[in-house]
């Protein structure tokens, strides 16, 4: 059921996803196409904000900020997974894998490689602060309009 907390959480985490996607794109090697990172991460943030942080609002500001950080980490996970699958599919079309199992293992390897890039201090700080703010905003909206 739509609530104000879900709406505010979805919008806050969509903005956080857009910001995080841009920051992650800066960590990649020069020449890597990054035009879709922001919008794709914003979509992931929208869904995660609605389903996680917005759904769990109403339990207090401390819990909400913790839930916000959980939502931010979930955005990072799904974003890394989506990007790794995209790279795997590109490599698979070039016949760089010898079978489907090697391609699936390649996704995990790519996720681990990209997770190292995601450990940039500015990206982690943005996710942490954005998670706190997004969770608190969802809690505020839930209290204000419930």
pLDDT, averaged across the chain? 94
Own/partner pairs for 35-43, CB < 8 Å, 24+ apart?
A: 37/83, 40/79, 40/82, 40/83, 41/17, 41/75, 41/79, 42/14, 42/15, 42/17, 42/18, 43/14, 43/17
Q: What is the pLDDT of residues 95-115, one digit of tens each?
A: 999 999 999 999 999 999 999
Q: Which domain holds residue 57?
A: 4-144
Give residue 34's pLDDT.
86
Q: Is 99 helix (H, G, I), strand (E, B) or coil?
A: coil
Q: How confident is the model at residue 13 (pLDDT cuts 50, 70, 90)?
A: very high
Q: What is the pLDDT of residues 23-53, one digit of tens each?
A: 999 999 888 888 888 999 999 999 999 999 9
**Assign residue 57 a region: left if phi > 0, alpha if psi is -120 to 50, beta otherwise?**
beta
Rounded percentage of the chain residues whose pLDDT exceeds 90: 87
Number of domains making up the chain: 1
């Amino acid at each position: 059921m739509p609530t104000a907390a879900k709406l505010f959480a979805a919008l806050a985490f969509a903005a956080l996803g857009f910001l995080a996607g841009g920051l992650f794109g800066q960590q990649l090697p020069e020449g890597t196409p990054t035009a879709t990172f922001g919008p794709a991460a914003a979509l992931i943030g929208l869904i995660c904000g609605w389903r996680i942080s917005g759904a769990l609002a109403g339990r207090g500001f401390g819990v909400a900020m913790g839930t916000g950080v959980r939502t931010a980490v979930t955005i990072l996970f799904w974003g890394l997974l989506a990007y790794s699958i995209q790279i795997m599919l590109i490599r698979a079309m070039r016949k760089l894998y010898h079978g489907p199992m090697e391609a699936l293992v390649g996704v995990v390897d790519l996720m681990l490689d990209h997770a190292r890039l995601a450990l940039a201090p500015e990206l982690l700080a943005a996710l942490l602060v954005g998670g706190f703010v997004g969770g608190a905003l969802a809690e505020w909206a839930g209290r204000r309009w419930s």
